[in-house]
Amino acid sequence: MGMAQGEKSRRGLFLGLACLMTGALVGLGLTAGAQTVAATLISVNATAVAVNPVTNRIYAATYDDTVAVIDGETNRIMTTVKVGGGPDAIAVNPEINRIYVANTCRHAQDCASGGTVSVIDGATNRVIASPRADQNPVAIALNPVTNRIYVVNADGDNVTVIDGATNEVVASPDVGSNPVAVAVNLVTNRVYVANKNGNDPTCTSPGTVSVIDGVTNTVVASPLVGSSPFAVAVNAARNIVYVANNVDGFANGTVSVIDGATNRVIASPKAGGGSFSVAVNTMTNQIYVANSGGDTVSVIDGATNQVMKSLKVGSAPMAVAVNPVTDQIYVANERSGTVSVIDGATSQVTTTLRVGSVPTALAVNPVTNMVYVAGRDVSVIAGQKTK
């Protein structure tokens, strides 16, 4: 069946954005106008959210062991898909229209055998495979170029590597202790895994990042970073990796900057307390760190690796996401039930939007400039428009 005209157009825009995000910065005109909450889907109880910008479908993993499929045109739930027990992370491959859900198995009947990954066909909204992961899979990322999926198993101290063509597990490389986050560099085909306890399960050593070669599925380096790394993000255009370290709870935080060419830490700027999330705008070379303990966002200049500004946001910011097209940054504030909107050009908070309660996850559709906020409810923000 041929692709619908609207989907063809969105696919073209998505591919163009992917090229821009790993290439040169271009100028983009913006139309002024307030950002608003366009819709709120009540009592979804979402744990994670992801977007397919090609099909304009949104996928929210829920506490009910389902994935809610949302139509981006109508902002309504089309259907719910039953997945494994305790879905905690979700990723989308727009190239093949597949959705991957990491199930922690927190209250399923067969938890002795570890977690699973539910593979959903985006065309039919059906689970087509459920490969096994290890104990407590809490994070997932994929490489659409190689069609590989990487699932981080926090209690298994390893990564489950899945072949997207066959939906079979092809490798399970061991990493550090208590891995909690993962990111992929699509250009170099390297995978970065943040290990909260470093190489020591007793937590007496600093954190580490396991660097996996996507060709051999082996760990090629394990640079030391700050204590308790919670999040990792990649600037593929410059081959630099950013790791948000919680350090000592809510009091202090740092960001470890890793040169992807040498796998060495080249800078460690201080962030606010409780650094829990990090995002990169590849097009402006600025990095944003959500500091839950200090209710701030640290803005880092990627050229100097220095903190440019510390912005006050809502209470307990737990997630941050970037729209590279509009240069707008969105921060989910868990305790205040708001989203702070930062203008990347001025590094100022321009809007604070009331959303559903307990927002802890975000996803941006850079094609439609819509933002999806996951928590007890799922709120839809109509973002700033391009000319």
CA distances from 270 to 184, 225, 252, 300 (A): 24, 13, 8, 10
Q: Is the separation of the CB atoms in 143 and 164 below 8 Å?
A: no
The residue behind tokens 């990322």 is 141
Assigned domain for 142 exists = no
Please state the length of the chain. 387
Assigned domain for 83 exists = no
Cα-Cα-Cα-Cα dihedral sign, residues 34, 6, 122, 64? positive
| Long-range pairs of 88-91 with CB within 8 A, sequence gap ≥ 24 | 88/47, 88/48, 88/61, 88/137, 88/138, 89/47, 89/48, 89/61, 89/137, 89/138, 89/139, 89/140, 90/48, 90/49, 90/50, 90/59, 90/60, 90/61, 90/140, 91/50, 91/140, 91/141, 91/142, 91/149
Q: How many domains does the chain have?
A: 1
Please, which residues have CB within 8 angstroms of residue 311's CB and are 6 or more apart in sequence? 296, 297, 298, 299, 340, 342, 347, 348, 349
| 336: amino acid identity, one letter | S
The pLDDT score that the predictor gives to residue 25 is: 35
Assigned domain for 17 exists = no
Assigned domain for 28 exists = no
Q: For residue 197, what is the domain's CATH number?
A: 2.130.10.10
Assigned domain for 48 exists = yes
Picking from 115, 45, 40, the residue whose alpha carbon sits closest to that of residue 80 is 45
Q: Which domain holds residue 294?
A: 42-77+152-386
Helix (H) or strand (E) holding 16: helix 5-21
pLDDT tens for the chain, 387 residues: list them.
445 555 555 555 555 555 544 443 333 334 445 799 999 999 999 999 999 999 999 999 999 999 999 999 999 999 999 999 999 999 999 999 999 999 998 655 556 667 999 999 999 999 999 999 999 999 999 999 999 999 999 999 999 999 999 999 999 999 999 999 999 999 999 999 999 998 766 656 689 999 999 999 999 999 999 999 999 999 999 999 999 998 765 667 899 999 999 999 999 999 988 899 999 999 999 999 999 989 999 999 999 999 999 999 999 999 999 999 999 999 999 999 999 999 999 999 999 999 999 999 999 999 999 999 999 999 999 987 654
Assigned domain for 1 exists = no
Assigned domain for 139 exists = no
Assigned domain for 353 exists = yes
